Chain A
Amino acid sequence: MVDEAVSRRQLRQQQRRRLIIEGVAIAVIGIFLMAVVPSLLPAFRLKLLGRFLSLAIVALGIDLIWGYTGLLSLGHGIFFALGGYSFAMHLKLQIPEGQLPDFFTLYGVDQLPFFWYPYYSFPLTLILLVLVPALVAGILGYLVFRNRIKGVYFSILTQAALIVFFNFFNGQQKLINGTNGLKTDTAELFGQVVSSPRMQWQFYQITVVAVIVVYLLCRWLTSGRFGRLLVAIRDDENRVRFSGYNPTWFKLVVFSVSGGIAGVAGALYTVQSGIITPAFMQVPFSIEMVIWVAVGGRGTLVGPIIGAVLVRFAQTLLSERFPEFWLFFQGALFLLVVTALPKGLMGLGELPWLQGLFSRPSLDRAVSYPRLAVDPDIQQERERLGDTSSEL
């Protein structure tokens, strides 16, 4: 008992130390991204980085539902676009009172569709760009999870929903300008043009803050009992059910949160790229999101951020030189990760041949698994016998 108390205390100290290191690291990276990077990169590259960081946010959302809870969503484009449209609608409404956004006149619409009205208010828009995707995810999730649809059927259903949404948005010229989407570049917000360098610099800063906030939210969600329960659902949902939990609600909450996060990402991406169109709800884009997470390392929170930013940078660099080449590269990357690096870049450290490169070979290395030498029962026994020799 005493031994255990001591080891518990050590464990807690270790955890606290790790938490401090993590906090410091986040602060340093945050300050670096916000204060140093803008002066290092040209405006064009900075805008790119801002976009990639907003994609990192949706990657975090996907990791929550896929990496932790084990549900592969191929429909996050819906939530991403819903967030983007929400913000774009608000920007479109920044016009003199009594006027309609320009595209409506093309289709002979003289009355603003009812669902545009809430977007006149900026605070309401901020709420809606999270709430709308979260609600849509919640409703979709309720139908799917209540009927205990799991695994590949869940993935197919989310993809089907994605196609439904794409077709709807693509066809409704009179409601949201259909396939042309909503341009935000020339709109004004707080008296400034959205595409102006000053505004873009601000959006970049907001994006960095948003990444940190979403990271902390995910960190909080995944660290306590709730996070352990998500892992438990991934490991054995029936056991969870027979232990007295209702997995439906847990999955629903996570899916909603994940959708809301995607909405934030969509809004930030839209204002930094200047347009939102139904193309964001095409199948390949949502699959690409999953690839970022897989490449970075699912089930970790740093992985998806690194994955999204790195893959996107690679895409930019490669397609600048070989425009036709990128898709092949992306496919190859995904194959490589699935076959050789199941834990993504975050799992690099666990590869035996890499470990061999960086650490001295020692006899204590695992020969069998799990290795005998670290078996707690054996260690305890050894301590009891006073055996301090280590010539194993």
Chain B
Amino acid sequence: MQNHILEIDNLTVSFDGFKALNNLNFTMNTGELRVIIGPNGAGKTTFLDVITGKVQPTEGTVRFKGRNLRNISEHHISRLGIGRKFQTPRVYLNLSVRDNLDLAWVRRKNVFATLLTSPKKGDRRTVTGLLETVGLTAKADLKAALLSHGEKQRLEIGMLVAQSPELLLVDEPVAGLTDEETENVGNLLLSLAEHHSIIVIEHDMEFVRQIARQVTVLHQGSVLCEGSMNQVQNDPRVIEVYLGKAPSVSAEQLLILRIAAAMAWADGNFAPEQMQVILTRLSKQFASDPEQQAELKTELQNYLSQEIALEALIPELSSESDRLQVLKLSYEIIRSNTINEYENRVYQKLLSLLDLPEHQVKSIEAEIEAGFSSLSLDDYLQQ
């Protein structure tokens, strides 16, 4: 119980009858880095609004370190140790970068302390350290209005850190950033995660994959599912809310397909024609009539277009028949052209991960070899 930094029970927020959040339950451990994803309108930003006190819950409770946040004003919640970064960078444009950080860093934030204290030597040193952390040392005395979009994002994160909150809420930190800047922000967040609990809301799936350990999917104001990135990606419900259509294969079948795709990617060389061949093969495997096959083919193209590590996928296979099917498909795929050194290595890894009895492996390989030797590649394609 003590270990939960944030507990949310049966949270409902309704705006004039529209439920932006609906019976949402959520807990997070101290020190965790949690990513929250969800399609537009899933209630992600409202979720942060409730935690930071901007919006009051209609029903339910939000507890931060066991303390109910209802009726506590925003600045008190901030002083309790919850920092928030907004979707668009919100910094004080007419103040210098240094002053932006100084205002966020100061501990005593009442009127009189603000009026009567000036930055001491220690304060300045801390701010200098912060400037280094966010990489804005050279621009410390420029007005924040002159910073680029990415620099403003980093400055705002720096201001968050300056508050030294225990829980950081970060809303779409990489929206509108270049790939390089995205990676910088990702690394910054990862290093912050060593000492803080962080909730990140994000759309950019590449970025989510870079930083995510635990992912929570919100949909229509409730938690749809929770788990590792791979579990979430294989969940048919998640695919349905993102692509607007339920996948026509089951979760287990999808997993098998993903492993097969990972094998196809093994030599890092996945020519479009080759992909077509494999897609045709796979769709035949799982659907019977031609129309369904065509549909499945385009669907698969969506799921398989990225590379995922085998180690993450194979432990998820539950039954032995699934393992056998994986082996069969994988061998077919690498055997479809001549097996090179690299493919062989990945195949050996697959075998060790699958951990099947050797005689079964041998018989399957032989079966497929037999099929190949009786056909030329052209025949295989036409088949």
Interface residues of chain A, those whose CB is within 8 Å of chain B, are 4, 11, 221, 224-226, 228-229, 231-232, 234-236, 238-239, 241-246, 249-250, 253, 370, 376-377, 379-380
Besides the known contacts A228-B92, A243-B103, 15 further A-B residue pairs in the complex with CB atoms under 8 A apart: A224-B115, A224-B118, A226-B114, A226-B115, A228-B99, A229-B114, A232-B92, A238-B54, A239-B92, A241-B75, A243-B75, A243-B78, A243-B163, A245-B75, A246-B110
**A225 near B52: Cβ-Cβ < 8 Å:** no
**B103 near A229: Cβ-Cβ < 8 Å:** yes
**B91 near A236: Cβ-Cβ < 8 Å:** yes
CB interface residues, B 138-186, toward A, < 8 Å: 138-142, 146, 159, 163
Contacts of B142 in A (CB 8 A): 376
**A244 near B78: Cβ-Cβ < 8 Å:** yes
Bound-state Cα–Cα, A135 to B119, Å: 31
Bound-state Cα–Cα, A244 to B139, Å: 25
Contacts of B115 in A (CB 8 A): 221, 224-226, 253
Bound-state Cα–Cα, A5 to B102, Å: 17
Contacts of A226 in B (CB 8 A): 111, 114-115
**B94 near A234: Cβ-Cβ < 8 Å:** yes
**B94 near A225: Cβ-Cβ < 8 Å:** no
Q: How far is the CB of B245 from chain A (nearest CB, A)?
A: 39
- For residue B86, CB closer than 8 A to chain A, the reply is yes
- For residue B74, CB closer than 8 A to chain A, the reply is yes
CB interface residues, B 77-96, toward A, < 8 Å: 78-79, 83-84, 86, 90-95
Bound-state Cα–Cα, A192 to B59, Å: 71
- For residue B106, CB closer than 8 A to chain A, the reply is yes
**A225 near B119: Cβ-Cβ < 8 Å:** yes
Bound-state Cα–Cα, A232 to B84, Å: 17
Q: How far is the CB of A323 from chain B (nearest CB, A)?
A: 42
Bound-state Cα–Cα, A277 to B110, Å: 39
Q: Which of B106, B115, B141 has the most CB of A within 10 A?
A: B115
Q: How far is the CB of A230 from chain B (nearest CB, A)?
A: 10
**B109 near A242: Cβ-Cβ < 8 Å:** no
Contacts of B104 in A (CB 8 A): 243
- For residue B128, CB closer than 8 A to chain A, the reply is yes
Contacts of B119 in A (CB 8 A): 225
CB interface residues, B 225-257, toward A, < 8 Å: none
**B103 near A232: Cβ-Cβ < 8 Å:** yes
**A239 near B111: Cβ-Cβ < 8 Å:** no
**B138 near A246: Cβ-Cβ < 8 Å:** no
**A250 near B114: Cβ-Cβ < 8 Å:** yes
**A245 near B90: Cβ-Cβ < 8 Å:** no
Chain B residue nearest to A247 (CB atoms) is B75
**A246 near B75: Cβ-Cβ < 8 Å:** yes
Contacts of B138 in A (CB 8 A): 376-377, 379-380
Q: How far is the CB of B121 from chain A (nearest CB, A)?
A: 11
Chain A residue nearest to B165 (CB atoms) is A244
Bound-state Cα–Cα, A245 to B67, Å: 20
- For residue B220, CB closer than 8 A to chain A, the reply is no
CB interface residues, B 203-232, toward A, < 8 Å: none
Quick one: given A232-B103, A244-B78, A377-B139, are A239 and B114 in contact (CB under 8 Å)?
no
**A225 near B139: Cβ-Cβ < 8 Å:** no
Q: How far is the CB of B311 from chain A (nearest CB, A)?
A: 41
Q: How far is the CB of B305 from chain A (nearest CB, A)?
A: 37
**A242 near B78: Cβ-Cβ < 8 Å:** yes
Bound-state Cα–Cα, A242 to B140, Å: 22
Contacts of A242 in B (CB 8 A): 52, 74-75, 78, 83-84
The 8 A-B residue pairs with the shortest CB-CB distance in the complex, in nearest-first order: A244-B78, A376-B138, A232-B92, A235-B92, A239-B90, A226-B115, A241-B74, A244-B79
**A236 near B92: Cβ-Cβ < 8 Å:** yes
- For residue B73, CB closer than 8 A to chain A, the reply is yes
Pick the contact of A231 from B92, B146, B159 — CB < 8 Å?
B92
Bound-state Cα–Cα, A379 to B141, Å: 14
Chain B residue nearest to A250 (CB atoms) is B111
**B90 near A241: Cβ-Cβ < 8 Å:** no
**B109 near A245: Cβ-Cβ < 8 Å:** yes
Chain A residue nearest to B85 (CB atoms) is A242
Q: How far is the CB of B269 from chain A (nearest CB, A)?
A: 39
Bound-state Cα–Cα, A253 to B84, Å: 27
Q: How far is the CB of A260 from chain B (nearest CB, A)?
A: 15
Bound-state Cα–Cα, A221 to B119, Å: 15
Q: Mark contacts of B110-132 with chain A using CB atoms, 8 A cut-off: 1 yes-contact digit, 0 otherwise.
A: 11001101110000000010000
Contacts of A232 in B (CB 8 A): 92, 95, 103
Pick the contact of B86 from A11, A239, A253 — CB < 8 Å?
A239
Chain B residue nearest to A376 (CB atoms) is B138
Contacts of A377 in B (CB 8 A): 138-139
**A246 near B139: Cβ-Cβ < 8 Å:** no
Pick the contact of A244 from B92, B128, B146, B163 — CB < 8 Å?
B163
Bound-state Cα–Cα, A253 to B128, Å: 31
**A249 near B163: Cβ-Cβ < 8 Å:** no
- For residue B29, CB closer than 8 A to chain A, the reply is no
Quick one: given A235-B95, A250-B114, are A4 and B137 in contact (CB under 8 Å)?
yes
Q: How far is the CB of B109 from chain A (nearest CB, A)?
A: 5
Bound-state Cα–Cα, A380 to B84, Å: 32
- Can you name 20 A-B pairs with beta carbons within 8 Å? A225-B114, A225-B118, A225-B119, A226-B111, A232-B95, A235-B92, A238-B54, A239-B90, A239-B91, A243-B104, A243-B159, A244-B78, A244-B79, A244-B163, A245-B109, A245-B114, A246-B110, A250-B111, A370-B146, A376-B139
Contacts of A250 in B (CB 8 A): 111, 114
Contacts of A236 in B (CB 8 A): 90-93
Bound-state Cα–Cα, A11 to B128, Å: 15
**B106 near A225: Cβ-Cβ < 8 Å:** yes
Bound-state Cα–Cα, A228 to B137, Å: 20
**A4 near B114: Cβ-Cβ < 8 Å:** no
**A11 near B75: Cβ-Cβ < 8 Å:** no
Q: How far is the CB of A120 from chain B (nearest CB, A)?
A: 34
Q: Mark contacts of B246-288 with chain A using CB atoms, 8 A cut-off: 1 yes-contact digit, 0 otherwise.
A: 0000000000000000000000000000000000000000000
Bound-state Cα–Cα, A133 to B360, Å: 93
Q: How far is the CB of A226 from chain B (nearest CB, A)?
A: 4
Q: How far is the CB of B72 from chain A (nearest CB, A)?
A: 12
Contacts of B73 in A (CB 8 A): 246
Bound-state Cα–Cα, A224 to B106, Å: 13
**B110 near A249: Cβ-Cβ < 8 Å:** yes
Q: How far is the CB of B50 from chain A (nearest CB, A)?
A: 14
Q: Which of B90, B118, B119, B159 has the most CB of A within 10 A?
A: B90
Contacts of B99 in A (CB 8 A): 228
**A249 near B111: Cβ-Cβ < 8 Å:** yes
Bound-state Cα–Cα, A13 to B28, Å: 50
Quick one: given A226-B114, A243-B163, are A4 and B146 in contact (CB under 8 Å)?
no
Bound-state Cα–Cα, A88 to B108, Å: 42
Q: How far is the CB of A382 from chain B (nearest CB, A)?
A: 12
Q: Which of A221, A231, A380 has the most CB of B within 10 A?
A: A231
Contacts of B159 in A (CB 8 A): 243
Bound-state Cα–Cα, A253 to B95, Å: 21
